[in-house]
Structure 1
Amino acid sequence: MTERVATTPGLFPLPDWAKETLSELKGHQKGDLLSGEEGREIVETYDEVRSELIDDQVDAGLDRIVEGQSRWDDMIAHPLTIADGVETGGIVRYYDNNNFYRDPQVRTEPSPSGDVADDLAAATADAPDDSDIQAVLPGPYSLADLATNETSHDEEAFLDTIATFLAEEVDALGEHETLFLLEPSFAENPPGDGEDAQASAAIDTVADASDAEVVVHTYWGAIPEKPYAHLLDADIDAVGIDLVAADREDSVYNVQEYGATDSIALGVVDGQNTLVETPETIGERVEWFESQVPVDDFETTYVTSNTELFYLPENKYKAKLNALVAGVEVLS
């Protein structure tokens, strides 16, 4: 019997009150805020935001609680932008989603900051004692894809460097039930021949650092066949599949042709569209996928949004959380 788990890839929108407060505070603070050395009032504001985001998830009834990543101004590049050995460059566009972020320029071997571990520890303290905590990090392939390599390493060695960096960040994390590695580049800028095996090995390096269930969540389209087949070689528990994307049939074909991990993550709620899916729609998307693939039962099906919920207004983000939980209830 498949266990169905309502969860998200994290990266929630800031509450409306926090946007105004942080804008004012950061306008008065000099220096590089991306260094992680925010002033006391900014730190306290983010602490308050984290508590609120956790309350949102608890109120909705999600099965996994994430920290919310409210401090990730640079989206999934954040853990690298604040690392030693990395300079934050100018504003660039990541992917095709009309959002612009800073460019992490890696000068030397990046050193883990422990920033993500500290935030996860704070989230664990804020969450109810019986909560199942989910950590969120970028995957190594996407993070290497987004970064500018200014080291002496070639691209293959650079990917290994990023994987080692992330593995050290994971090793610093406290106890967590699940680890989501966000890998949109697998769909948006997929690895080519040879690089696909290296990308899988890099993910394996990061996954091996965690004792939790590891989900490699891909989105904004389907992974091409060869990268998908190589991804299955990594020691991971689940691959995330975007069922909101127009080419979801390609994702189904991959599973039909090459098989699947023991568990699966299905992006069935649109993280960039304010239209809130009904529980029935969510249930139908999960059941449609299950009816198409030659798998009797997955150990766990993670029912999630296809992308981060960062792009949504605050009220719609909360509505999507509730929709995910209601969709799982429909399936039970």
Structure 2
Amino acid sequence: MTDVVSTTPGLFPLPDWAKDELADLKGRQKGGLVTGDESPEITDAYERAREEIVGLQTDAGLDLPVEGQLRWDDMLTHPLSVADAVETRGIVRYFDNNNFYREPVVTDDLAATGDVARELEAAGGLTDDGLNAVLPGPYTLSQLATDEHYGDEADFLSALADFLAAEAEQFPDVETLFLLEPSLLESPPGDGADERASEAIDAVAQAADADVVAHTYWESHGGDGGIDEKVYAHLLDADIDAVGFDFVANHEDNAYVISEYGCTDDVALGIVDGQNTLVEDAEEIRERVEWTLDNTHGTDFETAYATINTPTFYLPSGKFEDKLAALGAVERTEVKA
């Protein structure tokens, strides 16, 4: 029997009122959009938005709410962008879509800021449930950032892993940590780099006092579909509790990889579409969970995290709330694997 637990990979859209209020406040703040250097009015708006977002998850019945990452204007690069050793420069396209972020350029030795830990402390006071923390994975961060200090790809990846590990060590009590690693699919590491990526993920996982999910999503452009088998084999060597799969983008190939090469004791099933405004109902989500567990032969997962396949910052806030409600209706329950 598999315990099904509902959660999300975070990076939520701002509530509509917060978008308008924060756009006005940031437009009037000297320096414009400077995340990490907010005025008291901006801080207050984010606190109210965080309270609303955590409440939405609790009301929806999600087992493991997230803080929401509403301050992450630069999306996955946010924890790096607010570090002292990083300069944010020109606007860069986020993967292959119409979202953009400021390029984070590392110019000195990286040191943890505690920024994410403070967000989690604030969220922890808003719920009696365990929290699911969110961080960018070190390999993905290495692909989104620019190095002007370490001078070597391997050294840069190692430094990013140490940076994220130091951030995780400052976390308050959380139940899980989702390390978001879309670049393992979008720009998979080659020979040698795949082992280093696994070692970097391992370093962050070992620093976290929580169950760690390395969540992969978004298909590589021009690839054969699903995660590269060698990359996956190395990923399983990391000290992680679960691998996350995007079963919306590619359910057949992901089910094959799990069946053919095995998996961790737990698994995260991305079975709600985080980029499409079509809202799934609870029964459809249950059926997707059951299909994945029925079609991953030779596995007997202890826990399956029923989750959204990608972050949801693309979605209109109303559709996002509807998807939360549908996912939360898939109550914590045991299903046959």
TM bucket, shorter chain: over 0.9
**Equivalences, count:** 329
Amino acid at match of 1:213: D
State the Cα distance separating 1:115 from its structure 2 match: 0.6
State the Cα distance separating 1:295 from its structure 2 match: 3.4
1:58 is matched with 58
Identify the match of residue 323 of structure 1 among 305, 323, 326: 326
Are residues 1:242 and 2:246 paired? yes
* TM-score with structure 1 setting the length: 0.96
CA contact (8 A) 1:280 1:330 kept: no
Using the alignment, how far apart are the partners of 2:113 and 2:69 within structure 1?
15
Q: Which consecutive aligned stretches of 4+ in structure 1 deviate over 3 angstroms post-superposition?
A: 32-35, 327-332
CA contact (8 A) 1:263 1:300 kept: yes
Q: After superposition, what is the alpha-carbon deviation per residue over 1:27-64, rounded to whole angstroms, capped at 9, x for unaligned? A: 11112643512100000000000000000001001000
2:100 is matched with 100
* Unaligned residue ranges in structure 2 (runs of 5+): 220-225
Moved more, 136-145 or 88-97: 88-97
**Identical amino acids, percent of aligned pairs:** 59
Moved more, 23-32 or 271-280: 23-32
SS in 1 for 2:154: helix
SS in 2 for 1:298: coil
For 1:169-180, what aligned pairs fall within 5 Å after superposition? 169-180=167-178
1:226 is matched with 230
State the Cα distance separating 1:119 from its structure 2 match: 0.6
Using the alignment, how far apart are the partners of 1:59 and 1:206 within structure 2?
32
1:266 is matched with 269
Amino acid at match of 1:44: D
State the Cα distance separating 1:280 from its structure 2 match: 2.2
CA contact (8 A) 1:278 1:327 kept: no
Are residues 1:195 and 2:199 paired? no
Moved more, 319-328 or 260-269: 319-328
State the Cα distance separating 1:239 from its structure 2 match: 0.4
1:307 is matched with 310
CA contact (8 A) 2:3 2:333 kept: no
Distance 1:20 1:249, change over 3 A: same
Amino acid at match of 2:312: L
1:10 is matched with 10
State the Cα distance separating 1:328 from its structure 2 match: 4.4
Using the alignment, how far apart are the partners of 2:280 and 2:330 within structure 1?
9
Query: What root-mean-square deviation, in Å, do the aligned CA atoms of Structure 1 and Structure 2 show?
Result: 1.4
Amino acid at match of 1:141: Y
CA contact (8 A) 2:35 2:73 kept: no
State the Cα distance separating 1:275 from its structure 2 match: 0.2
Using the alignment, how far apart are the partners of 2:117 and 2:27 within structure 1?
27
Q: After superposition, what is the alpha-carbon deviation per residue over 1:54-87, rounded to whole angstroms, capped at 9, x for unaligned? A: 0000100100011000000000100000101100
State the Cα distance separating 1:330 from its structure 2 match: 8.5
Are residues 1:278 and 2:276 paired? no
Q: Which has the higher contact order (CA 8 A, sep 6+)?
A: 2
Amino acid at match of 1:325: G
CA contact (8 A) 1:87 1:105 kept: yes
Using the alignment, how far apart are the partners of 2:33 and 2:292 within structure 1?
43
Using the alignment, how far apart are the partners of 1:198 and 1:97 within structure 2?
28
Moved more, 47-56 or 107-116: 107-116
CA contact (8 A) 2:139 2:200 kept: yes
Moved more, 26-35 or 170-179: 26-35
CA contact (8 A) 1:9 1:180 kept: yes
SS in 2 for 1:310: coil
Q: After superposition, what is the alpha-carbon deviation per residue over 1:187-246, rounded to whole angstroms, capped at 9, x for unaligned? A: 11111111111000000000001121100111013211110111000000000000110x
Amino acid at match of 2:23: S
CA contact (8 A) 2:2 2:334 kept: no
Using the alignment, how far apart are the partners of 1:239 and 1:320 within structure 2?
22
* TM-score with structure 2 setting the length: 0.95
Using the alignment, how far apart are the partners of 1:57 and 1:286 within structure 2?
20
1:216 is matched with 214
2:294 is matched with 291
Amino acid at match of 1:316: K
Q: After superposition, what is the alpha-carbon deviation per residue over 1:71-112, rounded to whole angstroms, capped at 9, x for unaligned? A: 000001000001011000111112123211111111112221
Are residues 1:73 and 2:77 paired? no
Amino acid at match of 2:133: A
Using the alignment, how far apart are the partners of 2:281 and 2:49 within structure 1?
28
State the Cα distance separating 1:184 from its structure 2 match: 0.5
Using the alignment, how far apart are the partners of 1:117 and 1:80 within structure 2?
14
CA contact (8 A) 1:34 1:81 kept: no
CA contact (8 A) 2:27 2:33 kept: no
Identify the match of residue 255 of structure 1 among 258, 272, 286: 258
